[in-house]
Amino acid sequence: MSHNSFGHLFRFTTWGESHGPALGVVVDGCPPGLEISEAEIQAYLDRRKPGTSKFVTQRREPDAVRVLSGVMPKPLVDETEPDDSTTLITTGTPISMMIENKDQRSKDYGEIRRQYRPGHADFAYDAKYGIRDYRGGGRSSARETAARVAAGAIARKVLEASFPMVKIRAAMVGMGTQSIDRTNWDWDEVNRNPFFMPDAQAVGRWETYLEEVRKAGSSVGALIEVQAQGIPAGLGAPVYGKLDQDIASALMSINAVKGVEIGNGMEAASLTGEENADEIRMGADGQPEFLSNNSGGVLGGISNGDTIVARFAVKPTSSILTERRSIDADGQEVDVRTKGRHDPCVGIRAVPIAEAMMACVLADHWLRHRGQVGW
Amino acid sequence: MSHNSFGHLFRFTTWGESHGPALGVVVDGCPPGLEISEAEIQAYLDRRKPGTSKFVTQRREPDAVRVLSGVMPKPLVDETEPDDSTTLITTGTPISMMIENKDQRSKDYGEIRRQYRPGHADFAYDAKYGIRDYRGGGRSSARETAARVAAGAIARKVLEASFPMVKIRAAMVGMGTQSIDRTNWDWDEVNRNPFFMPDAQAVGRWETYLEEVRKAGSSVGALIEVQAQGIPAGLGAPVYGKLDQDIASALMSINAVKGVEIGNGMEAASLTGEENADEIRMGADGQPEFLSNNSGGVLGGISNGDTIVARFAVKPTSSILTERRSIDADGQEVDVRTKGRHDPCVGIRAVPIAEAMMACVLADHWLRHRGQVGW
Amino acid sequence: MSHNSFGHLFRFTTWGESHGPALGVVVDGCPPGLEISEAEIQAYLDRRKPGTSKFVTQRREPDAVRVLSGVMPKPLVDETEPDDSTTLITTGTPISMMIENKDQRSKDYGEIRRQYRPGHADFAYDAKYGIRDYRGGGRSSARETAARVAAGAIARKVLEASFPMVKIRAAMVGMGTQSIDRTNWDWDEVNRNPFFMPDAQAVGRWETYLEEVRKAGSSVGALIEVQAQGIPAGLGAPVYGKLDQDIASALMSINAVKGVEIGNGMEAASLTGEENADEIRMGADGQPEFLSNNSGGVLGGISNGDTIVARFAVKPTSSILTERRSIDADGQEVDVRTKGRHDPCVGIRAVPIAEAMMACVLADHWLRHRGQVGW
Amino acid sequence: MSHNSFGHLFRFTTWGESHGPALGVVVDGCPPGLEISEAEIQAYLDRRKPGTSKFVTQRREPDAVRVLSGVMPKPLVDETEPDDSTTLITTGTPISMMIENKDQRSKDYGEIRRQYRPGHADFAYDAKYGIRDYRGGGRSSARETAARVAAGAIARKVLEASFPMVKIRAAMVGMGTQSIDRTNWDWDEVNRNPFFMPDAQAVGRWETYLEEVRKAGSSVGALIEVQAQGIPAGLGAPVYGKLDQDIASALMSINAVKGVEIGNGMEAASLTGEENADEIRMGADGQPEFLSNNSGGVLGGISNGDTIVARFAVKPTSSILTERRSIDADGQEVDVRTKGRHDPCVGIRAVPIAEAMMACVLADHWLRHRGQVGW
């Protein structure tokens, strides 16, 4: 069962509501002996945290992570060595990480306590549970994704321990009406602009566009691409443990995601077999080389050694200032306008989340593969 | 773990290779007391089976299903009643169904025993397992999907027992360069043409197009839409048990699928919040009515009572007559041409498979919901 | 996978080491709408906590539980009602509970950092992970069981909501050479003596005995019986989801447990069919009545409506003052004597833990049953 | 979920009723490249099959296993090599095995169709499902255990591939009033008498005893011990993935089992810490040597390298010729006498079943361990 857990051998469980005292994650199945520090995990959380630019929610959360279990200070090989107390080492037991909520403003949401915001989970939660933590969206809030990013930091360690060349990176490649020129793709640029976007020439245009959206109290959707390099051929499993199936599941589990593509994705529907299949030659390094990557690095549900490529669409947040028609918990028709803090483009913060989820899927499949096949 | 199983409370496990003696499925967790007959299950299998038109593989398989466990003849209420021995009743124990393979022609595949067909799983399976059942694609063959359709027939029974109005239907809405006019959508038409396509006016055009593809020994991709009506609000679960996440997982697990969309899908990336969020009014029947369905019937991972809508792209099969560059198991560069029987558009048979997978996801989520919430 | 999780629909995951900052549990799948307070959970924890008598470890831990998620203050029906802020209501999302460690004394364990205490998990952990949190036993410490008790408090709420007459109670029925006279069984007595023992006449004798054991720096094993009354017939599942199988799994997962019995248990091996099978008559209330309970309330893995009865043996703790022969991490032979605080009879605190585990198994099976069968 | 599945990475699912057309098992997660033949699997089934002596049920079942998937003929290294078509090699995909039922005599059971046999699962199944396959006990029949033995044959291959010295053996050590002299223990004797019993001197006495039981139409319980040698230290996992927990679960899942012990088991309750803890010295081979084995080879849920020892009690079958008081499906009081074929001591056939379950637990834990830790 997996209401709030993800993965199998590398498995994590998240908990916490937007306006509760804290949120967190328990990572189970992590291999022992991996070195990690809270600072490394924090660095990933800082990329996702709110309030970093005017384009993301102004909620002020330090998102400071505490590692509560599953690690111990790295044992000193030599007792005379200076004690590096910040380096932790995993012990193979569950790693619990907690992030306290600091800037809840539940009052902002009093009005919508019994109203169903169009496009939000409010109505569906009430229909399911008969009760709903309306404060900040409760469990449906994107605050939960901080826990994913923390889990993803551990997953990267798992992968790096076996595949030192692994790189898992995401970037925004579309936002509302805006797109990029892929020939300008520069991974270094991704961390220089507020959009995690790889085309330096498009930044100004995107800023102008999103500023208008923001001022209008509106919102826009986004298209994000995530890539994993350095993953060997062989991860995944046939039929219901397909690597791309689990990537799709992981990405679709992120709030507001409505579509997921692997490789050429939806475009594959319009191609012929000649256009679509990636031809193979032997590379200079004696390894097979795919002459194109329509497959997105996955064939028959199993990685083929090429870069794993996935894309997903994030819908625009429904928290907008324009009044929208809706109903309340009594079945009365109402007009709803959301006044709380929110993101003009929630897709921006989905970039580090997508990296984390990709890392978790790959770490899980790596351990599963090693379990069954032995390398 | 789920290498070859899908679902949680309604859980099925499939087995079998393309050229083995048989394939099958074990459905675990089915509620007791459901009436079913082999004929009903067979009817769904007949829609998927090969050889029904010149546009699908010419392999001749009756795909006759046998129910081996988990059912008993319906007990007679009145001993004088005529014995209706074809009606079975589920007992709550695992339902095993088997389909024998009848028309294997392993010789067709001798040549590709050590060659990696571009776009196929051959290379990835060898990289993973170090061994591969090359005969007809082994486990990576679409023959496995017959087992899904059998499981789906049981899943429909589960849903129908609680939601008599439920309708789960799929249709092909795009094929290579061909599309449909959605204003012509007619569900009855879907079963009248060889494409499971809902636009009667497009049939002739599609036939001409696919005949050319077929004669050229080529193949094309397809776009398929699957809809579930009559599902109440409340199915799904937050965060990692999202209904749309499990639909995405289910559809992406189908062979050759490269992209999955819920509701407006990838298009959501380019919309504003005002355009995207579905407004709500009270319907004439006293139930909430969504004024649009961009959400695809799912909000925050939970069904909202509207029609559930998903779409997915199937890539063109890589089994084509044109020679393609590849390598063999020894790392030698070779040119590969696939001579076995295959489908010019594998997407056609994905239509009944998609219905089956949607039914299985919904049946599982219904039982999970009933377990946790109690209705 | 279940390294650190237990259950399926009612599923909990624990984390934390003996000498880390905290320990905790995440309970997933709890039905919404259950009223609970931290004080109720605390009451169960207080029964298990250390330092309550001279017969349990003298570590001083308040074991104060904090509920961090999955609940909200009970909504007021009438705004003029006084706010009862201590009553919480479950929302259906994961319930995270945390207990801080307050009285770690890691120095006590410095000596055994590289020594393997006979009968302890030290050697096995090192053999598995290559690293071991030696401080207080790390993850193998019985401190983990506090998390089980917290989960059990939630599980009781789940059961009580559907079966108001349910009673889950355990008692110690043997300790080293000491036994009880079952004809004196008095459930009220269980909470009056430091052993959770139901025979008032045996208390003095047991106290004298254990005091001698304690003073000698020795330890003894214990035999515990746990009973669940008020559980309807029908919980459990055939073959690998047997109710008694899951009870056995739950009890054997408790630290130091070496044997588990259902009903007449090991004694069944020596009986005849005539002696063993429980005959049935119709009771005065129109319900089936079993004339004996050798089955322990479970037939074919499914509850039969009679009292569910299980027993288990807890070994004596290996933390004793007598020197024992062992080896250290370098393979050197050493003599080990454990000086840390510990329990002369760890079985005492296993009593509330056993109740908690029984409650969790039953809550899980109740939700699973309701999911599949619908009542 | 695990109604009818067992294990995680090495996971099997069984199906089939006593009087259905067949029963079977799907083994998922088996490593690729293992050589196996149907004859090897059959040899294990032959030890369990009915009708081998007058002391087991006289139902005549060949229990012939067919392997339907997950294997292929062993590829010839050299084309001139003679084709050894009986040697199969696992491919890493699910292994489906089927056994047809040949000797159903459903008429024998007509009378008990609506009667609840005391000590049987009849009443509990009806209470749960509202319907019950009364023919031969349906799913609750011990015929299901043939599927376990087939799975166990695969599990042994998994273990042998990594640990060539592994030996998994069981023996009956008690039957009703009869016991053995452990100083006479001879594993070779186990396969020479109809009881799988290791004490040659006790055979005559046991035969006389059971013959009397059989002639009286009665039945007796049994005590069985299962041992696994050659398993390295390190298998298992803390807390809810304990090796002994999963062994207890596996053994308690076998029909009619009422108690399970690891190592000294229930006896541990009466010992002191000095008596119980196994001391350690370095062995002549440079490996740790335990001076006793009260632990049964498991410490803290993890194997310690010593022989793994478990024991379990099988109750006497309730199918006896003596009339017993019971009720029927209408709540009428009846006297029940079971006339179908059955075993005077069902424990006999539990011996090969226990070996199979132990092998499956160990194979699963080995793959899980390898997944997490990497060796």
- Average pLDDT for D303-317: 97
Alpha carbons A146 and B164: distance in angstroms, whole number? 41
Residue count (chain C):
375
Alpha carbons B5 and A240: distance in angstroms, whole number? 6
Is C28 close to A92, i.e. CB distance below 8 A? Answer: no
Q: Are A17 and B253 in contact (CB under 8 A)?
A: no
Alpha carbons B101 and B60: distance in angstroms, whole number? 9
Q: Is A128 helix (H, G, I), strand (E, B) or coil?
A: helix
For residue D75, give the H/E element and its range. Answer: none
Residues B243-267 pLDDT 10s: 999 999 999 999 999 999 999 999 9
- For the cut 80, the answer to whether the pLDDT of residue A22 exceeds it is yes
Question: Which of B13, B302, B364, B372 has the most C C-beta neighbours within 10 Å, making it the best mutation to test the interface with C?
Answer: B372
Question: What pLDDT shows up at residue C339?
Answer: 73
List of chains touching C (3+ CB pairs within 8 A) = A, B, D
Is A262 close to B241, i.e. CB distance below 8 A? Answer: no
Confirm or reject contact between B367 and chain C (CB < 8 A). yes
Q: What are phi and psi of A146, to 5 degrees?
A: -60, -40
> Strands B35-36 and A71-73, how do they pair?
unpaired
Q: Are B262 and A28 in contact (CB under 8 A)?
A: no
Confirm or reject contact between B274 and chain A (CB < 8 A). yes
Q: Is D36 helix (H, G, I), strand (E, B) or coil?
A: strand
* Residue C264: strand pairing partners: none
Confirm or reject contact between C112 and chain D (CB < 8 A). no
* Residue D224: strand pairing partners: D172, D312
Residue count (chain D):
375
- For the cut 70, the answer to whether the pLDDT of residue A83 exceeds it is no
Q: What are phi and psi of A239, to 5 degrees?
A: 75, -75
- For the cut 90, the answer to whether the pLDDT of residue B182 exceeds it is yes
CA distances from D298 to C16, D10, D231 (A): 22, 20, 11
> What pLDDT band is residue D2 in, cutting at 50, 70 and 90?
confident
Q: Is A167 exposed, middle or buried (0-12, 13-18, 19+ CB in 10 A)?
A: middle
- From D344, D350, D178, select the one nearest D260 (Cα to Cα): D350
- For the cut 70, the answer to whether the pLDDT of residue B76 exceeds it is no
**How many interchain CB pairs under 8 A, B with D?**
141
> What pLDDT band is residue C103 in, cutting at 50, 70 and 90?
confident
Percentage of the residues of chain D whose pLDDT score is greater than 70: 95
Residues C105-146 pLDDT 10s: 656 556 678 899 999 999 999 999 999 998 888 999 999 999
- For the cut 70, the answer to whether the pLDDT of residue B98 exceeds it is yes
Percentage of the residues of chain A whose pLDDT score is greater than 90: 81
Alpha carbons B66 and B86: distance in angstroms, whole number? 12
Is B368 close to C9, i.e. CB distance below 8 A? Answer: yes
- For the cut 90, the answer to whether the pLDDT of residue A179 exceeds it is yes
| Contact residues on chain B for D33, CB-CB shorter than 8 A | 129-131
- For the cut 90, the answer to whether the pLDDT of residue A39 exceeds it is yes
Candidate from B11, B20, B66 with C-beta closest to D68: B20
Chain B residue nearest residue D92, CA to CA: B129
Q: Are D195 and D348 in contact (CB under 8 A)?
A: yes
- From D301, D1, D249, select the one nearest C249 (Cα to Cα): D249
What D183-186 contacts at long range (C-beta under 8 Å, 24+ apart), as own/partner pairs, is none
Q: Can you say whether the dihedral through the CA atoms of B244, B246, B247, B251 is positive or negative?
A: positive
Question: What pLDDT shows up at residue B54?
Answer: 81
**How many interchain CB pairs under 8 A, A with C?**
140
Chain C residue nearest residue A75, CA to CA: C131
Task: Measure in Å the smallest separation between the Cα of B32 and chain C Cα atoms.
Answer: 7
> Strands A5-6 and A11-16, how do they pair?
antiparallel
Alpha carbons B373 and B364: distance in angstroms, whole number? 14
Contacts of C11 (CB under 8 A, 6+ apart): A1, A5, C5, C27, C28, C29, C364
Residues A205-255 pLDDT 10s: 999 999 999 999 999 999 999 999 999 999 999 899 999 999 999 999 999
Question: What pLDDT shows up at residue C113?
Answer: 83
- For the cut 60, the answer to whether the pLDDT of residue A188 exceeds it is yes
The ipTM, to two decimals, is 0.96
Confirm or reject contact between A350 and chain B (CB < 8 A). no
Q: How many CA atoms lie within 13 A of A287 on its CB side?
A: 10
List of chains touching B (3+ CB pairs within 8 A) = A, C, D
Is D371 close to A367, i.e. CB distance below 8 A? Answer: yes
Alpha carbons A254 and B218: distance in angstroms, whole number? 38
Confirm or reject contact between D106 and chain B (CB < 8 A). no
> What pLDDT band is residue D306 in, cutting at 50, 70 and 90?
very high
- Average pLDDT for A150-177: 98
According to DSSP, residue A113 is labeled: G
Residue with tokens 């209470």: D127
- For the cut 60, the answer to whether the pLDDT of residue C202 exceeds it is yes
CA distances from D55 to B71, D104, D225, D342 (A): 32, 19, 19, 9
> What pLDDT band is residue B238 in, cutting at 50, 70 and 90?
confident
| Contact residues on chain C for A11, CB-CB shorter than 8 A | 1, 5
Q: Is D371 helix (H, G, I), strand (E, B) or coil?
A: helix
**How many interchain CB pairs under 8 A, C with D?**
393
- Mean pLDDT across chain D, nearest whole number? 93
Task: Measure in Å the smallest separation between the Cα of D36 and chain C Cα atoms.
Answer: 26
* Helix intervals (H) in chain C: 38-48, 122-129, 145-162, 187-190, 203-215, 243-252, 273-276, 347-373
Task: Measure in Å the smallest separation between the Cα of A213 and chain B Cα atoms.
Answer: 9
Q: Is C289 helix (H, G, I), strand (E, B) or coil?
A: strand
Is D367 close to A372, i.e. CB distance below 8 A? Answer: yes
Question: What pLDDT shows up at residue D110?
Answer: 65
For residue B261, give the H/E element and its range. Answer: strand B257-262
- For the cut 80, the answer to whether the pLDDT of residue D77 exceeds it is no
List of chains touching A (3+ CB pairs within 8 A) = B, C, D
Count CB-CB contacts under 10 A for residue D323: 11
Contacts of D40 (CB under 8 A, 6+ apart): D153
- Average pLDDT for B308-315: 98
Question: What crossing angle do the helices spanning C243-252 and C347-373 adopt, rounded to 10°?
Answer: 150
- For the cut 80, the answer to whether the pLDDT of residue A84 exceeds it is no
CA distances from C71 to A126, C89, C223 (A): 15, 5, 37
Confirm or reject contact between A127 and chain B (CB < 8 A). yes
CA distances from D335 to B366, D118, D219, D332 (A): 42, 10, 18, 10
CA distances from B160 to A90, A163, B35, D106 (A): 49, 49, 11, 32
Q: What is the pTM of this model?
A: 0.97
Confirm or reject contact between A374 and chain D (CB < 8 A). yes
Chain C residue nearest residue D256, CA to CA: C300
Question: What pLDDT shows up at residue D56?
Answer: 78
DSSP labels, D297-366:
TEETTEE-SSPEEEEEEEPPPS--SS-EEEEBTTS-EEEE---S---S-THHHHHHHHHHHHHHHHHHHH
Q: Are B223 and B175 in contact (CB under 8 A)?
A: yes
> What pLDDT band is residue C86 in, cutting at 50, 70 and 90?
confident
- Average pLDDT for C275-300: 95
| Contact residues on chain C for B372, CB-CB shorter than 8 A | 9, 29-32, 92, 367, 371
